[in-house]
């Protein structure tokens, strides 16, 4: 198993509510992500987000990753599920089986990140590629 580490920058965050029943709110968020470090890539995602209150959020979505990992280029998809509580976002990742293309075909793995709002996001991705 190999490990990739680095940072993520979330750009062009476009969040829109589709249901509001205070204090609860349901939204979608279209986000562009830029990965730096061992994974040099860009990713598009749309999250479904549920706020049970103004101080907490649960979210899930798919990151469509396009770039280079460990010197190999291609694309793959990450399923992400996470929470935001007390100003800290925490996510868990799973690479979708069969989603890898190019030199990243056959990739598998899991990862995570935790970050305070408006702070640098540090990720860890544990992955495996076929021999």
Q: Which of 7, 83, 78, 86 is nearest to 40 (CA)?
A: 7
Q: Is the pLDDT of residue 26 over 80?
A: yes
pLDDT in tens, 38-63: 999 999 999 999 999 989 999 999 99
Q: Which of 87, 85, 94 is nearest to 112 (CA)?
A: 94
Give the pLDDT confidence score for residue 117 in this predicted structure. Answer: 66
Please give the C-alpha separations between residue 93 and each of 4, 8, 36, 52, 127, in angstroms, as whole numbers.
13, 14, 17, 22, 11
Distance (Å, rounded) from C-alpha 106 to C-alpha 76?
Answer: 9
R_g of the chain, CA atoms, integer Å? 15
Give the pLDDT confidence score for residue 118 in this predicted structure. Answer: 66
pLDDT in tens, 11-23: 889 999 999 999 9
Distance (Å, rounded) from C-alpha 50 to C-alpha 26?
Answer: 5
Please, are residues 17 and 49 in contact by the beta-carbon 8 Å criterion? no
């Amino acid at each position: 198993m190999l490990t990739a580490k680095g940072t993520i920058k979330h750009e062009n965050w476009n969040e829109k509510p589709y249901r509001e029943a205070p204090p609860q709110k349901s939204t979608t968020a279209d986000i562009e992500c830029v990965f730096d470090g061992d994974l040099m890539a860009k990713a598009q995602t749309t999250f479904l987000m549920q706020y049970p209150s103004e101080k907490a959020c649960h979210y899930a979505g798919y990151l469509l990753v396009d770039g280079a990992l460990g010197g190999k280029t291609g694309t793959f998809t990450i399923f992400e599920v996470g929470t935001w509580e007390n100003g800290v976002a925490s996510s868990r990742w799973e690479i979708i089986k069969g989603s890898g293309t190019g030199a990243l075909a056959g990739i598998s793995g899991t990862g995570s990140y935790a970050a305070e709002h408006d702070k640098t996001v540090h990720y860890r991705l544990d992955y495996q590629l076929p021999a």
